[in-house]
Structure 1
């Protein structure tokens, strides 16, 4: 039996962690996967004969660069089954998924853009699969947490999803757990906590990429679609940005951070108003299937709620369903970071290999 061939795009933080995990996969099959292609930025490594390659040596490779179209053709000619592992957040790669799938090439990825862009791409991806091509994207929401698989299982077994809500961002979780903890011990100013999160690597290099709420909105879009809602995209429902209007045009992250202290009072007001009501403020995502409503933004939540009780940068996903009506199903834990994201990718890869073998 020909081995399952693996093509890897993206060898950054998640990609490096994935390579380390790939070497130690515990498979219920005797056939080990063989890496035949790897790429990072402007370097690729592969052979004309589909020989095994060492992805860690890609920087010294002299292989001619293949376009996405050329890569589709190349992988389509490989012996045996092929799985493309896309560890990027690249829109162009995501747009190429239907072409890969039509060639019988399976896709495993944490790329949110593939599943949260326009509905046409979503439909093309899931209508393009041949019997020999699979799509797994657990890590596109919640990193390694079993969020997508849980939702799919609930739907597939006939449960009725009424609402999915929670804190879907490790960055937002850290910011508000620090700024407005349940015990009221938060003393730092909002801008100071954002700066602390940036220095600790909890935010993107430009914190505005987290504070605009679009990362959470993309996750909401994916979950909403899986729950049965026809959501056009992450810009089709209310998303509250935490970037002050006056700073939206800041020329750089440095300028944004320098001016952010001028607006600390706005966030302080949110926190104070919540405290007066005996609650805490959190950045909450909500997919209300029953009401056909999706929204992302600040909410005052009860102090004894699972959402308020989060620690550090943990994510929480609360599933309200017909079966879980009296007590919701809760998935909680680290929802960001290279190692846990790669774990979700690796777990999906194992599922794909075992189904294809």
Structure 2
């Protein structure tokens, strides 16, 4: 029997998208050497203003793909048109969304209802309105299409798959706690380290931006919303019908006076005036023999979700994190007093793309 063919469309060819396409090329070559593996055909790649697609569904070549995309004169397909294109493939199709676009996320129910499986690191699809969350999974259930989004929480770390296994096997998750942001991890590990005194808060934020750890406007990290989105996803998977990432307390680290300044650069320029606020928090923790960290927690029994600053004993695993690592602790009935801990790099193009590629393999195995 000739191996099955699976058609793949990719939206988003920037940081994570580039890394993913490189991993997809390696995966396609590996599958091509195994007679029992399906043939993977990349038939569409798009970014905001350019689309490259194969009108007759023959596989696009990976050589010079980013150049070909940049120089493409083909009609730029809207998300709806890209979905229609994939829905008409001769066999099963998978949409890989490497964007963080709400517009693309809003189209997931439509794609899934047409039998197109989805693999994505896009948090907005799963942390937006609770109705969108329900629509996505009911569309997948009715069509049989698959939806995987491991990288929407903690890049390539196996956080969502672990939680799903715990829930599906009947364990009772009582609490989830951790550092869910590589940016916040880096900031607090350098601002309030276990050894030494750390730098001024504004200097550490500036350094984090220069090293590429923050968004172009650091306020997009410091408002805590990125962490709140991840907690929303985890809470929903734990059975809590959280309405949105703004439905629970989220402690923003942006001084009120700087919320409305016009740019990220102006924000960094004025931030030193407010260093004393963070310094006081750090010193208060030190007086108790503790360190301050930016964490998220879900108390499943009490149905409470919160994001903000917490003080930790210096011996606590959260206090001892290095660099921009994430750490997530699952407290469950089975694991008792000692939580199941997942720790490692929670940000970066290669590891995020790895999570996406691993999800793609899972979908291919289920479709083959």
Give the corresponding residue for 1:47: 54
1:24 to 17, 23, 26: 26
Contact 2:290 2:313 in 1 (8 A): yes
Please, what TM-score do these two structures have when normalized by structure 1?
0.98
Moved over 4 A (4+): 26-29
- 1:164 aligned residue (176, 195, 202): 176
Distance 1:87 1:187 in 2: 36
RMSD: 1.1
Contact 1:46 1:53 in 2 (8 A): yes
2:333 to 318, 322, 329: 322
TM-score (norm 2): 0.95
Which residue does the alignment assign to 1:306?
Answer: 317
By relative contact order (CA 8 Å, sep 6+), the higher-ranking structure is: 1
Aligned positions, number: 356
1:234 Cα deviation after fit: 0.3
Deviations 1:177-210 (A, max 9, x none): 0011122x13310000000100000101110000
CA-CA distance at 1:350 after TM superposition: 0.6
| Other structure's SS at 1:317 match | strand
Q: CA deviation at 1:175?
A: 0.4
**Residue 80 in structure 1 maps to residue 82 in structure 2:** no
User: Which whole-Å deviations, capped at 9, do the CAs of 1:64-113 have from their partners, x for residues lacking one?
Assistant: 12222222221111011000000000000000000000000000000000
Q: Hey, what's the Cα distance between the residues in 1 that align with 2:145 and 2:207?
A: 44
Cα separation, 1, equivalents of 2:76 and 2:224: 35
1:325-340 to structure 2, matched below 5 A, reads 325-340=336-351
| Alignment partner of 1:178 out of 180, 190, 206 | 190
Displacement after TM superposition at 1:47 (Å): 2.6
Counterpart among 153, 156, 163 of residue 151 in structure 1: 163
Runs of 5+ unmatched residues, structure 1: none
The answer on whether the counterparts of 1:105 and 1:132 sit within 8 Å (CA) in structure 2 is no
**Any stretches of 5+ residues in structure 2 without a counterpart?**
none
Question: Aligned with 2:364: secondary structure?
Answer: helix
